[in-house]
Structure 1
Amino acid sequence: MSEDACDPSVSDAEVDRCFSPISDVKAVALGVSGGSDSMALLRLFAEWVARNGWNGSGLVLTVDHGLRDESRAEARFVADVSAKLGFEHRTLSWDGIKPASNVQAMAREARYQLFAVEMAKSNAEVLLLGHHQDDQVETFLDRLTRGSGIYGLSAMASESALPSSKARIFRPFLEFPKQRLIASLLERDQNWCEDPSNEKSAYKRVRLRKLAQDLSTEGLDLKRLTKTAERLRRAAAAIDQWVAAFMDEYLRSHAAGPVCLPFSTFSELPEEVRLRALARLVQRVGAQDYSPRLVKLEALDQSLRVSNEHKATLATCVFHKQGGKLFVWREMGREPPETLELTGELSPIWDGRYILTGSPHAFGEERFLGPLGLFPGRQRDLGFAWPTDWPREAFDAAPAVWSEDGLHFVPGLLEDTLGAHYNCAQVLRHS
């Protein structure tokens, strides 16, 4: 700890307002590295719990990335503070070979994956993170250098989906600059850990942080940059509402996965709305947590508009323009959805797209869940008639349950006397 604070600390009233959206949540996890931001999150959350009588459970999670010698000691430090505050603590390890480049981004992705797995074990509904106003500005500048559009430049959302999870991320401190969080720690004589990588100019985030300081001297300070990002987020929300209304009216979905919409109506949308609609289709049909890069969406949109018949792939999805319709389905590709042997009472998320419930051993035989296109007996009579208004290949990656006796269940296509014991619900997502 080596900082002086001139800014005021975060008041109790501000803390109460920040955490009020989770007052009805029963179980949360806190991502705490030991740095100033996350330690402020831990201390202020503990005070909010005590002050408001919140009766949920809080689990503190620290990820040891194995990138620095100090990381293990930092995890122990967080564990000690957590115990004193009355919270359970767990240290998670990022194992395996570490990347030679893009380390911070890869570490962040690994961190979220570890959080998702541990939260599922504990039934935690919300992940609390200590992101603040300075992080907003660094993200804005980073995405500006990448040529991002309105969505990439939008303000970081206070609430968002946790990748590969049913849980949500909640960031209560986005309105506060980092110095106010530090002031709160100093006021409480609370130590924190300094990560030396935060000062290494080899990392882009560090260079952007220094750039933000230079811009501030020219009048483009944290507040103005944050306000710009917030206004872009407001515009993005309006486009999202437009896209949602369009999808509700025109999108046709099959229970087995593919979707379609009238291309002429789609093509009449403004370009920015079309691009967002394509992104949402990728996330929905391909079970993607994130939208594809804007340049790829622009290329797809252009290719669909220049010919009457066209087929293209993007991020595990096939886009097929045919007969005045745009069909979208999950592609088989080089990495088709996995085939699972069903064991015991189940509710697995398959291919990130479906939750299967039922009793696979109700009839005492081996059952498998996999893509219809890989069903071993697909060359014989499948027990259903193919829909005439959908391309047949649109169902290759559809979820199917089979055994040695044949095909038993495909949502929307087949439900025999055995398949009737299954139910498949789609997992719909977007960022």
Structure 2
Amino acid sequence: MITSFTAVLDRRLRPDAAAPLAVGFSGGGDSLALLILTLDWARAHGRPVISLTVDHGLNPASAAWTADAVAKARALGAEARALAWTGSKPATGLSAAARAARHALLGEAARAAGARVLLLGHTRDDLAEAAVMRAGGSTVSDPRAWAPSPAWPEGRGVFVLRPLLEVGRVDLRDWLAARGETWLDDPANADPRSARARARRSLAASDAPGGPEEGADRPMEAAPSPFQGGEGWLALARTAPAAHVAAACLCAAGTTRPPRGERLQRLVARIRAGEDFTATLAGARIEAAGEAVSFFREPGEVRRVGPPLVVEKALDPGQPVVWDGRWELTAAEPGLVVRALQGLAARLPAAQRQALKGFPPAARPGLPVVLAPDGTPTCPILAEAKAVRARCLVVDRFEAATGRVDQEPAT
């Protein structure tokens, strides 16, 4: 077990990096084993470890559990932080909402700490449970050994590593018991109202194996294919796999849910047929012409997915702000507001209007424009702007989503 764990970390992490490693630690057996093993690896490589514990606020005892987990992590030698899911909770879809909130809190905390990798303690049993849940009609997917954080934009730049997917839950608990360790057993894991708890009980009753044996560090659905990218747009070859078409829609649109199902299948079929067309899907505008298919943010004030294009957002000096899911902007002075360029191009300085001609027409309306307190517009993508720094997130997000980044980034 330790050998396979170490091999995964050696493969995915940079031993000479100075950035901390973030570990999601609930206090349960899986995450406790993960934290201990990660600390051992990190000490050997001189790397700090930050333990992150999320209190969902769904059980009266959760605050005490969180405090115990923080104390345990610190006793083991990790820096520890408690995170809380606050606010109202949904009456339906609670498990999915809690999972999304957890990923957002973990991703944001990891990024704020300077960590590029967040380790989670999913095991071979989680793969088996996911398969049972899908057989029962759930849309839950398999946890992947390496993937970008699913929280956007909170987890931007953070990758999730699950190094225990080849290990069974019983094996971990036997290993912990041999060390004299104790852990928390969350009663929610046995709650029959939970689909995962029912899947776990079903597997236990059938004495089914804990998951696939072919190895957890499996390749992506499709190998990376060629692409082009610019400020806020992407272009793929017509031969690009469906998973990459879905990712291009997601990233170019700046949304959080990629297209799936029949609509994606129909789009891919039209692309493969060589047809020239324009379409919209999942907040993206798709233009197929010749050998290439380009993906942009869907124009217009209103779209079916995500917020309207022209949304003004105030910029606080020194605080990075993600606007439209595609741009990270940091203002150097107060009183600035960002919105879409749509409708304002004629008011730009002459040099910026000239530079705008070098962009595909469909990409222009979605460029960010910064309004000064007197209303003067400046596009930081078209000209160097001292008042605000802008970084496009589209290409980096697409590269992460399609497996082009397969180990801890250098910076």
After TM superposition, the score normalised by the length of structure 2 is 0.79
Q: 2:336 — aligned with what?
A: 367
Deviations 1:321-353 (A, max 9, x none): 568864421125352354233443565433332
Aligned CA distance change for structure 1 residues 103 and 95 (closer, same or farther; 3 Å) = same
Aligned length: 380
Give the one of 12, 16, 29 matched to 1:24.
16
1:90 is displaced (CA, Å) by 1.7
Q: 2:101 — aligned with what?
A: 110
Q: 1:4 — aligned with what?
A: none
Give the one of 279, 283, 307 matched to 2:246.
279
Deviations 1:284-322 (A, max 9, x none): 212345533233311433566799675443222122456
Give the one of 368, 376, 396 matched to 1:399.
368
For 1:107 and 1:42, the matched residues in 2 are separated by 22
| 3-state DSSP of counterpart to 1:209 | helix
Does 2:233 align with 1:258?
A: yes
Aligned CA distance change for structure 1 residues 190 and 420 (closer, same or farther; 3 Å) = closer
Q: Which amino acid aligns with 1:283?
A: L
Does 2:130 align with 1:157?
A: no
For 2:343 and 2:257, the matched residues in 1 are separated by 27
Give the one of 169, 179, 187 matched to 1:178.
169
| 3-state DSSP of counterpart to 2:379 | strand
Q: Which amino acid aligns with 1:297?
A: L
1:215 is displaced (CA, Å) by 5.7
For 1:201 and 1:35, the matched residues in 2 are separated by 19
For 1:158 and 1:349, the matched residues in 2 are separated by 27
Does 2:340 align with 1:352?
A: no
Does 2:210 align with 1:222?
A: yes
| 3-state DSSP of counterpart to 1:197 | helix
1:100 is displaced (CA, Å) by 1.7
8 Å Cα contact 1:60-1:88 kept in structure 2: yes
Q: Which amino acid aligns with 2:379?
A: F
8 Å Cα contact 1:15-1:48 kept in structure 2: no
More moved, 74-83 vs 402-411 = 402-411
For 1:379 and 1:289, the matched residues in 2 are separated by 32
8 Å Cα contact 1:64-1:91 kept in structure 2: yes
For 1:77 and 1:230, the matched residues in 2 are separated by 31
Q: Which amino acid aligns with 2:326?
A: R
8 Å Cα contact 2:42-2:48 kept in structure 1: no
Deviations 1:72-98 (A, max 9, x none): 111121122122222222221111111
| 3-state DSSP of counterpart to 1:131 | coil
Give the one of 70, 80, 100 matched to 2:71.
80
Aligned CA distance change for structure 1 residues 328 and 401 (closer, same or farther; 3 Å) = same
RMSD: 3.4
Deviations 1:204-227 (A, max 9, x none): 11222234346655xxx335x353
For 2:377 and 2:254, the matched residues in 1 are separated by 25
Q: Which amino acid aligns with 1:258?
A: W
Q: 2:408 — aligned with what?
A: none
For 1:180 and 1:355, the matched residues in 2 are separated by 43
Deviations 1:96-127 (A, max 9, x none): 11112222221111011111222233222221
8 Å Cα contact 1:372-1:400 kept in structure 2: yes
Aligned CA distance change for structure 1 residues 342 and 46 (closer, same or farther; 3 Å) = closer
Does 2:286 align with 1:319?
A: yes
Percent of paired sites with the same residue: 25
Structure 1: gaps of 5 or more residues: 1-9
Q: 2:82 — aligned with what?
A: 91
For 1:374 and 1:143, the matched residues in 2 are separated by 46
Q: Which amino acid aligns with 2:179?
A: R
More moved, 418-427 vs 75-84 = 418-427
For 1:259 and 1:168, the matched residues in 2 are separated by 22
Q: Which amino acid aligns with 1:336?
A: P
8 Å Cα contact 2:315-2:321 kept in structure 1: no
Aligned CA distance change for structure 1 residues 303 and 214 (closer, same or farther; 3 Å) = farther
More moved, 317-326 vs 281-290 = 317-326
Aligned CA distance change for structure 1 residues 120 and 222 (closer, same or farther; 3 Å) = closer
For 2:123 and 2:268, the matched residues in 1 are separated by 35
Larger Cα-atom Rg:
1
For 1:278 and 1:145, the matched residues in 2 are separated by 28
Aligned CA distance change for structure 1 residues 281 and 49 (closer, same or farther; 3 Å) = closer
| 3-state DSSP of counterpart to 1:373 | coil
Structure 2: gaps of 5 or more residues: 402-411
Q: 1:240 — aligned with what?
A: 223
Q: 2:392 — aligned with what?
A: 426
8 Å Cα contact 1:28-1:126 kept in structure 2: yes
Give the one of 326, 329, 336 matched to 2:308.
336
1:202 is displaced (CA, Å) by 1.6
More moved, 337-346 vs 61-70 = 337-346
Deviations 1:11-59 (A, max 9, x none): 5x45543443433343012111111111222233334445x2x322222
